[in-house]
Amino acid sequence: MTAITMKRALEANRRYTDLKDAEARLAQAQRDLQAGYIDEMEYQTTADVCLKIIRASQ
């Protein structure tokens, strides 16, 4: 594998990892909101960040 190919593969892996982490964080925030652990404002802040990461990772 050339250095450029390796760099692209690592970047793709990082984007995939970021995507899966953001999806999991968003799902957890939804569960926390339903359980009453966080309020609507905290959920909205978390959701905004996660959705930006998800869009950028796809």
The answer to whether 46 and 29 are in contact (CB under 8 A) is: yes
Q: What is the per-residue pLDDT for 57?
A: 86
**Percent of the chain having pLDDT more than 90?**
93
Q: Is the pLDDT of residue 53 over 90?
A: yes
Q: Is the pLDDT of residue 1 over 80?
A: no
40 confidence band (pLDDT: 50, 70, 90): very high
Q: Is the pLDDT of residue 58 over 90?
A: no
Q: What is the per-residue pLDDT for 27?
A: 98
